[in-house]
């Protein structure tokens, strides 16, 4: 009887404590700068209701958090590059009022995030540059110009409030993958006929849907997402290359990984209730048609990259793997995900943080991509045109001499001899000659 009573009392006591900490006190504030917005993340001690409104003359944003007090230090935010001049706080009864004095007008968007393995209750306030919406609307789909570049959307995983995996020596996935992504972009941009487009260029978060949306906006021919794993077992190691599976993961590790990568939005925040679900209805209709083609390309590119990485790194599996990564669900664009290694493995983390290894990794991905597109360039691209030119041929007719053929095709006699490995200038009627690119 007695122990029961004690535990009952303890329970009651616990409830009281819980009720006290229920208030959404603002314990900490973090800020992340993205090209079109700034994100402020407020760590709250509990769930709380909030309200946001704007005032002009001068421009201000007011954030009211009910039943809360401020225990965070707002002076260390580093607002220099943000549209916020300073943040003031005050109390309005039980409500905590934060006033953001602005340098210019911005569009606020706020939402709350539930606790996850990393953070507790959070309140997210995104401040969008006023002209970002206009710009987004004005960006018409680029026309398919003849001789266009092959566009590769390069997606560095995680970012901002979501560090991704954290390895030994505090190596962070979000930093490693951004460095590799930037190097890959550099390589592609230096190659005639290719263009790399980063989904994120700095340390901020983009929702999983936002990443594929960016790829579509750029009319990407390929979406490649770059990550570095962590596993509870520090001995786990090896790089892996993934394509989307429609029928579930090909391994236990695949299920585990997909679950982990897919939960990024719980940490980084989706940013909005999706207004794009109508896209999904259309997508599911188009899925069967476009999926087959893009899946074949995805596999071919993934296989190439897998083979290239294998030359210098240990692979997790001897083949390309499959799992249901949200970020790969873009039915019309071939999409692959490269896990560059286990950041939780001290040996691999040490390598992954070095510039030379990051370059090696970027190079392996670069070669896998270009090898595929040189073989199978999309129509009307510069690479396709160059290839067509390279593949010109000529069938010898009566009266032809090698020098006549050379001048007919606007190439030099020497180059004609060379590409056809001719030892003499004797040719036969009906013989097919390769015409070099002029």
Which stretches of the chain bind Zn ion, using CB under 5 A?
A: 157, 164, 227, 261
Nearer Cβ to Zn ion, position 240 or 308?
240
Cα 239–chain centre separation: 18
Q: How far is it, in rounded angstroms, from Cα 184 to Cα 196?
A: 8
Q: Which two tokens stand for residue 316?
A: 């997790």
Q: Which of 262, 272, 240, 229 is nearest to 338 (CA)?
A: 240
Q: Which two tokens stand for residue 387?
A: 């290839």
The structure tokens 């003499």 sit at: 424
CB of 299 to Zn ion, least distance (A): 21
CB of 227 to Zn ion, least distance (A): 3
Nearer Cβ to Zn ion, position 157 or 377?
157
Nearer Cβ to Zn ion, position 108 or 341?
341
The answer to whether 59 touches 105, Cβ cutoff 8 Å, is yes
Q: Which residue is nearest to Zn ion (CB)?
A: 227
CB of 435 to Zn ion, least distance (A): 48
CB of 289 to Zn ion, least distance (A): 30
CB of 371 to Zn ion, least distance (A): 25
Q: Going by C-beta distance under 8 Å and a sequence separation of 6 or more, which residues neighbour residue 27? A: 43, 44, 45, 71, 72
Burial (CB count <10 Å: 0-12, 13-18, 19+), residue 323: buried
CB of 217 to Zn ion, least distance (A): 22
The answer to whether 190 touches 366, Cβ cutoff 8 Å, is no
The answer to whether 107 touches 27, Cβ cutoff 8 Å, is no
CB of 145 to Zn ion, least distance (A): 35
Nearer Cβ to Zn ion, position 122 or 211?
211
Q: How far is it, in rounded angstroms, from Cα 54 to Cα 108?
A: 8
CB of 262 to Zn ion, least distance (A): 10
SS3 state of residue 144: coil
Q: Which two tokens stand for residue 303?
A: 């296989």
Q: How far is it, in rounded angstroms, from Cα 19 to Cα 326?
A: 38
Torsion (CA) 40, 46, 48, 54 in degrees, nearest 10:
-20
CB of 228 to Zn ion, least distance (A): 7
Q: How far is it, in rounded angstroms, from Cα 316 to Cα 321?
A: 10
Nearer Cβ to Zn ion, position 221 or 261?
261
Nearer Cβ to Zn ion, position 62 or 166?
166
Segment holding 90, helix H or strand E: strand 84-92
Nearer Cβ to Zn ion, position 325 or 373?
325
Nearer Cβ to Zn ion, position 240 or 300?
240
CB of 337 to Zn ion, least distance (A): 9
Q: Which of 244, 245, 224 is nearest to 308 (CA)?
A: 224
The structure tokens 């090898």 sit at: 371
Nearer Cβ to Zn ion, position 220 or 264?
264
| Helix residue ranges per DSSP H, 172-276 | 173-189, 208-217, 252-262, 264-268
Nearer Cβ to Zn ion, position 297 or 339?
339
In sequence order, the β-bridge partners of residue 148 are: 381
Q: How far is it, in rounded angstroms, from Cα 310 to Cα 288?
A: 32
CB of 224 to Zn ion, least distance (A): 13
Cα atoms found within 13 Å of the Cα of residue 315, Cβ hemisphere only: 18
Nearer Cβ to Zn ion, position 38 or 176?
176
């Amino acid at each position: 009887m007695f122990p029961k009573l004690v535990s009952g009392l303890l329970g009651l006591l616990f409830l009281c404590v819980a009720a006290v900490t229920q208030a959404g006190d603002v314990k900490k504030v973090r800020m992340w700068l993205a090209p079109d917005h700034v994100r402020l993340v407020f760590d709250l001690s509990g769930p709380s209701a909030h309200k946001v409104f704007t005032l002009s003359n001068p421009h201000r944003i007011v954030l009211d958090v009910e039943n809360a007090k401020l225990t965070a230090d707002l002076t260390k935010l580093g607002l220099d590059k943000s549209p916020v001049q300073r943040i003031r706080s005050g109390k309005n009864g039980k409500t905590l009022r934060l006033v953001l004095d602005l340098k210019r007008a911005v569009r606020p968007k706020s939402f709350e995030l539930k606790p996850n393995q990393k953070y507790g209750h959070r309140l997210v306030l995104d401040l969008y540059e006023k002209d970002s919406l206009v710009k987004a609307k004005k960006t018409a789909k680029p026309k398919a110009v003849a001789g266009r570049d092959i566009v590769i959307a390069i997606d560095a995983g995680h970012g901002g409030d979501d560090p991704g995996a954290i390895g030994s020596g505090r190596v962070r996935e979000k930093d490693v993958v951004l460095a590799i992504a930037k190097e890959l972009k550099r390589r592609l941009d230096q190659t005639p006929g290719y263009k790399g487009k980063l989904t994120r260029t700095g340390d901020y978060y983009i929702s999983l849907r936002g990443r594929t949306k960016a790829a579509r906006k750029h009319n990407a021919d390929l979406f490649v997402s770059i990550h570095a794993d962590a596993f509870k077992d520090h001995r786990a190691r090896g790089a892996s290359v993934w394509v989307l599976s429609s029928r579930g993961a090909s391994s236990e590790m695949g299920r585990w990984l997909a679950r982990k990568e897919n939960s990024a939005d719980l940490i980084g925040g989706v940013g909005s209730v999706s207004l794009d679900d109508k896209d999904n209805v259309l997508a599911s209709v188009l899925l069967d048609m476009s999926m087959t083609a893009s899946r074949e390309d995805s596999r071919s590119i993934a296989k190439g990259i897998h083979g290239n990485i294998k030359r210098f790194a240990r692979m997790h599996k001897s083949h390309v793997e499959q799992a249901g990564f949200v970020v790969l669900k873009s039915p019309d664009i071939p999409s692959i995900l490269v896990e560059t290694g286990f950041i939780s493995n001290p040996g691999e983390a040490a390598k992954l943080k070095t510039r030379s290894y990051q370059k090696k990794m970027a190079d392996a991905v670069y070669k896998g991509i270009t090898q595929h597109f040189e073989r199978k360039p999309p129509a009307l691209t510069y690479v396709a045109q160059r290839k067509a030119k390279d593949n010109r041929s000529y069938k010898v007719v009566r009266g032809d001499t090698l020098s006549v053929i050379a001048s007919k095709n606007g190439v030099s006699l020497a180059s004609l001899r060379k590409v056809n490995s001719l030892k003499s200038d004797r040719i036969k009627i009906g013989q097919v000659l390769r015409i070099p690119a002029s």
